[in-house]
DNA sequence: GCAAAAGTGTTGTGACTACACCCATGG
DNA sequence: CCATGGGTGTAGTCACAACACTTTTGC
């Protein structure tokens, strides 16, 4: 914080947004095609420069509206987490730009716009995105995995109620390993993270069998599952 | 990221730095007296506005040199971690300023400057710091506690080799609870975080007794102690 | 020989893993 | 009557906490 706030040349401040979702048991990322240079036509994370009178989070939502073409009422439902700030001197060829990255999660029921594609995370090779967007995406992925370990953030991938198998799929898609069904269920119930909803679902286009139970998260808030180191 | 990078009014970008240390078994924070308005004379976190040609981390080190008055060779030894970016619209009365906060740790052997005091964390009441510096400090404290749980960041509070009791004091000061000595030792050795250095220390001004063994961290790097959620 | 500091051992509890088997129900 | 999607139970291993006791060595 400096006394001097006059018109010295300053870095431009921007935001970039990483939106994750699970589609068909795979982790996916919202990307949009750039409509101007540099990297015109390339797939990139939605982002905008921050205006004088808006917070970073408001700017991030504006990026989702203007760049990704998402409806405002849906954007309002998404919780955005500040990720990190990226500041390499030449990260943007147009001039010194510092970008604050945000991360959000949408459920599979989300309606996509024509301007956005949800691309499977595993099909985005390193170096394939413009600017430092691969670095931002990697940071977001690590943060996502971290938050999955000690919060109930997984709920944001699903709708209000869900089959327990769907929830397990979320964990398996993100951690890329299979989890024992019985132990998964026992643990989440024991720590009181989820509870059973009374009704059973109707058939979901499956052949036959017992209709699955529905569950929901007991708390809305992202709650820390605290662990002591020692 | 926007095509338009001309001279529209943009938020000013700044950095603020939280430096932690342990002094006499208490967590302390580096604060310096502001020499200009607003809040002239108040204790605050060191911070500067970011220049066009420097990274955020370089700006953070410059804040420690210019505002806290620390010698450059010591500043170079400190590892700085980016914490979060603070962007409330009216956080600075002089105009729209977005500040990226950094966090660092210094060992007790560090030489302080006259411009800085290391103030005990518990003696900094909420609301006592200018701007949103209490919020920044709280965020830094939470991050510190988090990192203590799954990295070997504690090493930065100590010099290269240390008595095992000193290390335990670091944990006890930060988590504010007492830890069983035997279990503490057994765990840190079992997970291979620390190892014994062959020599014993000379007396440390104590009355008598067996001279303590010295230990050191086995890895320099901050290494994640991974834990699975399920 | 006593204080300081370290080191060892024991026991109970609770968590996690793997696996095996039982239950309910719609087509 | 069987596929589907649960739901229960048990045994082994491991981690952690509490606590007690032993060892080393300088003054």
| Residues B167-198: tens digit of each pLDDT | 999 999 999 999 999 999 999 999 899 999 87
Is the confidence at residue B226, as pLDDT, over 70? no
Residue A154 and residue A174: Cα distance in Å, rounded?
Answer: 10
Which nucleotide is nearest to A210 if distance is taken from CA to C1'? C25
The verdict on a CB contact (< 8 Å) between A47 and B1 is yes
User: B148 or B211: whose pLDDT is higher?
Assistant: B148
For A192-208, the DSSP string reads: TSEEEEEEEP---S-SS
Q: Is the pLDDT of residue A2 over 60?
A: no
* pLDDT at res. B10: 87
Q: What is the model's pLDDT at position A111?
A: 66
Kindly list the structural domains of chain B, giving each domain's residue range(s) and its CATH number in brackets, ordered by start.
12-150 (3.90.79.10), 153-217 (1.10.10.10)
Distance CA A131, CA A84 (A): 16
Kindly determine whether residue A149 and residue B227, on different chains, have CB atoms separated by under 8 Å.
yes
Q: For residue A201, say whether its CB is under 7 Å from any atom of strand D.
A: no
CB atoms near residue B219 (< 10 Å): 11
Residue scoring higher pLDDT (A221 or B75): B75
Identify the weakest region by mean pLDDT among A165-179, B15-29, B96-110, B191-205: B191-205
**What mean pLDDT is reported for chain B?**
89
Report the mean per-residue pLDDT for chain A: 89
Sequence-separated (6 or more) residues with CB below 8 Å from residue B221: none
8 Å CB contact between B92 and B1: no
Task: Output the distance from B228 CA to C11 C1' rounded to whole Å.
Answer: 27
Least confident interval from A4-8, A215-219, B25-29, B167-171: A4-8
Give the integer Cα–Cα distance in Å for A54 and B98: 11
Tokens of B127: 């609301």
pTM, to two decimals? 0.92
**CA dist B131 to A185, B34, B89, B136, B194, Å?**
47, 12, 12, 10, 40
CA distance linking residue B209 with residue B229, whole number of Å? 45
Q: From the CA of B180, how many Å to the nearest CA of chain A?
A: 9
Task: Tell me whether residue B11 is exposed, middle or buried, using C-beta atoms within 10 angstroms of its C-beta: 0 to 12, 13 to 18, 19 or more.
Answer: buried
Average pLDDT over residues A199-218: 73
Query: Which secondary structure element, helix H or strand E, spans residue A75, and what is its range?
Result: helix A72-75
| pLDDT band at residue B1 using 50, 70 and 90 as cut-offs | very low
Task: Provide, rounded to the nearest whole percent, the portion of chain B with pLDDT above 90.
Answer: 72
Nearest Cα residue in chain B from A224: B146
């Amino acid at each position: 914080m400096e006394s001097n706030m006059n018109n010295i040349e300053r870095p431009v401040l921007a935001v970039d947004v990483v939106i994750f979702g699970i589609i068909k048991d795979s982790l996916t990322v919202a990307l949009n095609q750039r409509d101007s240079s540099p990297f015109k036509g390339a797939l990139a994370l939605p982002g905008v420069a921050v205006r004088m009178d808006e917070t970073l989070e408001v700017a991030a939502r504006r990026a989702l509206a203007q760049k990704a073409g998402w409806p405002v009422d849906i954007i309002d439902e998404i919780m955005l987490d500040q990720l990190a700030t990226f500041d390499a001197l030449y990260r943007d060829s147009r001039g010194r730009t510092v970008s604050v990255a945000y991360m959000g999660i949408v459920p599979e029921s989300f309606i996509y716009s024509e301007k956005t594609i949800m691309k499977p995370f595993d099909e985005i090779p390193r170096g394939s995105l413009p600017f430092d967007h691969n670095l931002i995406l990697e940071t977001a992925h690590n943060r996502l995995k971290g938050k999955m370990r000690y919060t109930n953030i997984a709920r944001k991938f699903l709708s209000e109620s869900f089959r327990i198998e769907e929830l397990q799929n979320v964990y398996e898609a993100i951690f890329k390993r299979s989890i024992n069904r019985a132990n998964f269920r026992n643990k989440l119930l024991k720590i009181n993270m989820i509870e059973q909803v009374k009704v059973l679902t109707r058939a979901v286009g499956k052949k036959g069998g017992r209709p699955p139970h529905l569950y929901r998260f007991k708390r809305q808030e992202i709650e820390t599952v605290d662990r002591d180191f020692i």
